[in-house]
Amino acid sequence: MKAVQLKEFGGPEQLFIGDWETPTPKANEILVKVHASALNRADTLQRMGRYPAPKGDSPILGLEMAGEVAAVGSEVSLWKVGDKVCSLLGGGGYAEFAVTHEAMALPIPSGWTFAEAAAIPEVFLTAFQALVWLGKLQEGERILIHAGASGVGTAAIQLAKLIGASSIVTASAGKHALCLDLGAEHAIDYKSEDFAEAVNDHTKGKGVNMVLDFLAAPYFQRNLNSLSVDGRLVILALMGGIKTEEVNMAPILRKRLQIIGSTLRSRTLDYKIALTKALKERTWDAFEQGQLKPVVDSVFSWEKVADAHRYMEANKNKGKIILDLG
Ligand SMILES: NC(=O)c1ccc[n+]([C@@H]2O[C@H](COP(=O)([O-])OP(=O)(O)OC[C@H]3O[C@@H](n4cnc5c(N)ncnc54)[C@H](OP(=O)(O)O)[C@@H]3O)[C@@H](O)[C@H]2O)c1
């Protein structure tokens, strides 16, 4: 098969399509003919050599895909050849074929394109884990979602609405309309406003019950300040930096705050299977009925994978960037 590979770690120019061994499904795995994959920030870090694939996973980039089942392992009972599925992957999505555990695959909602289906697994599983399992967001609560127009952010806005919680987002000004359209109640231009002051103003001093953060160090103090009593801060990335010189920790005790970090990719297969099952049970009807939707920013032919990476690294996307594999 053909797969996207790296000449060496570095910029998007290192990506090329070449021959690679077609994976063989294990007893409980399915082999999928990939029609669409999608970009994630992690792919750009892996390309630069800063986020290696976990042991046992394909070193090929790509954390999700959508396609058709091409072969099944000897013990597979959930799928047959020809079924249309999408799945989270530990790696290997940027390739003509990928393998996944049968319980990690999700049926493609009726009428959806492969491009739309490829936009779901990574960001909805990540946002579901963060909001429901880690942050325990409840109906009637309020969440601050940073990078609201990112893939994960757009999924989080929709999931908050489904839960019955309201959301405030931070995003570049040009991305506010999308966030509001998806259900956010307020959008903050973090480039021209101090987001903590804006949260304080908007909530009339009450603050938010949960913060979903990807920026880490430069936002840490202001995230603590933005939370209300019993608030939860879930940190999923370190895009802004890892070290902060001074933190006033008093709000952590005074407001009984919880600070939670997580990476989905490093979780065990059993955990990911349980998460996939929980996401399906809670959201698949909502996807079928159009209450939840994938947010596709753009579709690049996979021959243009380097351009797709450049586009993401220029922070141009609102929602997901898809790779079309034909
Ligand atoms: N821990 C986990 O399990 C997990 C799983 C999936 C993803 N993630 C992380 O979640 C984050 C979002 O992922 P994604 O794939 O959804 O991202 P994405 O679609 O590429 O969106 C990232 C957006 O973040 C905003 N941003 C704000 N400050 C930034 C900064 N300093 N550097 C870069 N971007 C900045 C930009 O939008 P504006 O123009 O609005 O600033 C940018 O478009 C990434 O950091 C990713 O690594 C974590």
The ligand 1 atom at the shortest distance from the C-alpha of residue 297 is: 19
DSSP codes, 51-76: SPPPTTS-SSS-SEEEEEEEEE-TT-
Ligand 1 center–CA 246 separation, angstroms: 24
Task: Point out which residues pair with 297 in neighbouring strands.
Answer: none
**Residue of the CA atom closest to atom 22 of ligand 1:** 150
Q: Under a CB-based contact definition with an 8 Å cutoff, are residues 156 and 142 in contact? A: no
Cα 236 to averaged position of ligand 1 atoms, centre (Å): 9
Please give the model's pTM, rounded to 2 decimal places: 0.97
Question: Best of 168, 271, 309, 315 to mutate for ligand 1, by most ligand atoms within 8 A of CB?
Answer: 315
Domains and CATH numbers, the chain: 2-120+268-324 (3.90.180.10), 123-261 (3.40.50.720)
Dist. CA 103 → ligand 1 center (Å): 28
122, 150, 262, 295: which to mutate for ligand 1, most atoms within 8 A of CB? 150
Q: How far is the CA of 150 from the centre of ligand 1 (A)?
A: 5
From 76, 80, 73, 104, select the one nearest 90 (Cα to Cα). Answer: 104
Q: What count of other Cβ atoms lies within 10 Å of the Cβ of residue 307?
A: 15
- Pocket mutation for ligand 1, best pick of 41, 144, 158 (most atoms within 8 Å of C-beta): 41
What length is written for the chain? 326
Tell me how far apart the alpha carbons of residues 213 and 219 are, in angstroms, rounded to a whole number: 8
- From first to last of the 326 residues of the chain, give the pLDDT tens digit: 999 999 999 999 999 999 999 999 999 999 999 999 999 999 999 999 999 998 889 999 999 999 999 999 999 999 999 999 999 999 999 999 999 999 999 999 889 999 999 999 999 999 999 999 999 999 999 999 999 999 999 999 999 999 999 999 999 999 999 999 999 999 999 999 999 999 999 999 999 999 999 999 999 999 999 999 999 999 999 999 999 999 999 999 999 999 999 999 999 999 999 999 999 999 999 999 999 999 999 999 999 999 999 999 999 999 999 999 99
Nearest atom in ligand 1 to the alpha carbon of residue 316 is 43
State which ligand 1 atom lies nearest to the alpha carbon of 151: 16
Contact of 98 with 32, CB cutoff 8 Å: yes
Atom of ligand 1 nearest to the CA of 175: 40
Burial of 107 (0-12, 13-18, 19+ CB in 10 A): middle
- What is the enclosing helix (H) or strand (E) of 228? strand 227-235
From the list 325, 284, 283, the residue with the least C-alpha distance to 308 is 325
Q: Using a 6 Å cutoff on CB, does residue 272 contact ligand 1?
A: no
